[in-house]
Structure 1
Amino acid sequence: MNDSWTRAIREAEDAFWQIVFSARKRVGNRGVLLPKRFGTKQKIRRFLRRRMSPCLAERVMRNLQLRKIRGRLAIPVGDGIGAPPILNTKRLSQAKGRATVAVWFGFDREDRFFRVYQLRRRASGGWIIYGRHPLDYPFNRRFLQLLPGCCASCA
């Protein structure tokens, strides 16, 4: 298994939680204000696109449920424990500059789950995630044929 794939997956999962945990100032039950580093949607989008495709970054931004409070971006009040640790990985397929990897996560024995990631090599040499199951793993209905990317810009 390629360690750079696992590192790219871990960094992408941690990116979401890094944004969530950066929020400190709570405004009642309305939300928690984000710092200036993540003060605009464009800054968040740019931060996420370092690790994932533009389409996946947009879906992650929707999961943040961003809102404006007193003219600043905020996230809903809640708690989280962060990205789950990676327990095991398995390469499902690999082609030149592309890979499909199944990753098992889990906090404890009763709470284990897996996701399938599609990775693509960047021109700079690193890896970027452009697909993530169960939300957007591009299978056809019979689960036989792989379809390219999640949208035209990712293909």
Structure 2
Amino acid sequence: MNKAWIRAIARAEDSFWTIVFSARKRIGERGVLLPERFNSKVKIKRYLQKSMSACLAERVIRNLQLRRIGGRLAIPVGDGIGAPPILKKKLLSHAKGRVTIAVWFGFDKDDRFFRVYQLRRNAKGQWIVYGRHPLDYPFNRSFRKVSTGCCSACINCA
């Protein structure tokens, strides 16, 4: 299996945690302030788009649950231990410039899960993640077949 594909997946997972762990100054229970590097959604999106599609970056930003405290951007108070290690991977499909891979993650034997990633080459020729699906891939929650990408916007940009 191509190591560049796995590096692209790891880079996409690590980018979320880089933003979370960069927040240092806690303001009570209201949140933890992000540094100057990530003080706007535009900066965060630009950083995330180095490893994922614009649509997926928007979803990650929504998952951060950003808020403003004293005019500065912050994330909710919480803790995390980072991106889980990759235990196993399986190539599901491969076409010119596009790849679908199932990846199993886990911190220990009791906490293992997998995600299905869709990758493609960007304009610079690097692999980026443009779809990240939970266990119900390739179907959505109503068991309808899902087309490529993480949403209808990705279908247009794919």
TM-score normalized with structure 2 length: 0.90
Note if 1:154 corresponds to 2:157: yes
Equivalent-residue separation in structure 2 for 1:92 and 1:116 (angstroms): 9
What does residue 76 of structure 2 align with? 76
Equivalent-residue separation in structure 2 for 1:59 and 1:39 (angstroms): 18
What does residue 93 of structure 1 align with? 93
What does residue 122 of structure 2 align with? 122
Equivalent-residue separation in structure 2 for 1:41 and 1:135 (angstroms): 29
Moved beyond 6 Å, runs of 4+: none
* 8 A Cα contact 1:29 1:77, kept in partner: yes
Q: RMSD between aligned alpha carbons?
A: 1.8
Equivalent-residue separation in structure 2 for 1:135 and 1:42 (angstroms): 30
What is the deviation of 1:137?
5.0
Q: Which amino acid aligns with 1:117?
A: Y
What is the deviation of 1:65?
0.2
What is the deviation of 1:111?
0.5
What SS class does the counterpart of residue 61 from structure 2 fall into?
helix
What is the deviation of 1:124?
1.5
Q: Which amino acid aligns with 1:119?
A: L
Q: Which amino acid aligns with 1:107?
A: F
Equivalent-residue separation in structure 2 for 1:89 and 1:96 (angstroms): 20
Note if 1:17 corresponds to 2:17: yes
CA gap 1:135/1:111 in 2 versus in 1, 3 angstroms: closer
What is the deviation of 1:134?
1.6
Q: How does 1:2-151 map to 2 (within 5 A)?
A: 2-134=2-134, 139=139, 141=143, 143=145, 147-149=147-149, 150=151, 151=153
Report how many aligned residue pairs link the two structures.
153
What SS class does the counterpart of residue 29 from structure 1 fall into?
coil
What SS class does the counterpart of residue 61 from structure 1 fall into?
helix
Equivalent-residue separation in structure 2 for 1:114 and 1:67 (angstroms): 30
CA offset digits 1:74-99 (Å, max 9, x no partner)? 00000000000001111000000000
Equivalent-residue separation in structure 1 for 2:27 and 2:135 (angstroms): 32
Q: Which structure 1 segments of 5+ residues have no match?
A: none
What is the deviation of 1:55?
0.7
What SS class does the counterpart of residue 80 from structure 2 fall into?
coil
What SS class does the counterpart of residue 157 from structure 2 fall into?
coil
